[in-house]
Amino acid sequence: MDEQEFHAKLIGFLRETEPAGAGATPGPDDNLFNLGLLESFSIPRVIQFLEELSGRPLALERAGIDAFLTSRSIYAAFIAPGTAVRSA
């Protein structure tokens, strides 16, 4: 999945699950927390969405909150080709 397709899917998901940010139209580098599309309590839902989307467990061991700031940072950390999967 390329970054543009991922961005559209992620923003669609966030608009459905975070009503406060439903009217936001973020670009790939916009802070999702500042726009109301993400909050700390919604991160587990986002992780589940990303695992379902990618079809694999995410490697979260070294991922901090910065990995979730923007659509681009989420893609780079978890979805882009070559990103690591969680160790068993």
Task: Answer whether residue 87 is part of any domain.
Answer: no
Please give the DSSP secondary-structure letter assigned to residue 6: H
| Neighbouring C-alpha atoms within 13 Å toward the C-beta of 21 | 22
pLDDT score of 84:
60
Does a structural domain hold residue 67? Answer: yes
Note the Cα 67 to chain centre separation in Å: 8
- Torsion region of 55: left, alpha or beta (phi above 0 gives left; psi -120 to 50 gives alpha): left
Can you tell me the mean pLDDT for 9-36?
A: 88
Q: Give me the pLDDT at residue 18, please.
A: 78
Enclosing domain of residue 15 = 3-79
User: Residue 86's pLDDT band (boundaries 50, 70, 90)?
Assistant: low
Residue 85 lies in a domain: no
Reported as a single tens digit per residue, the pLDDT across 41-76 is 999 999 999 999 999 999 888 788 999 999 999 999
The structural domain count of the chain equals 1
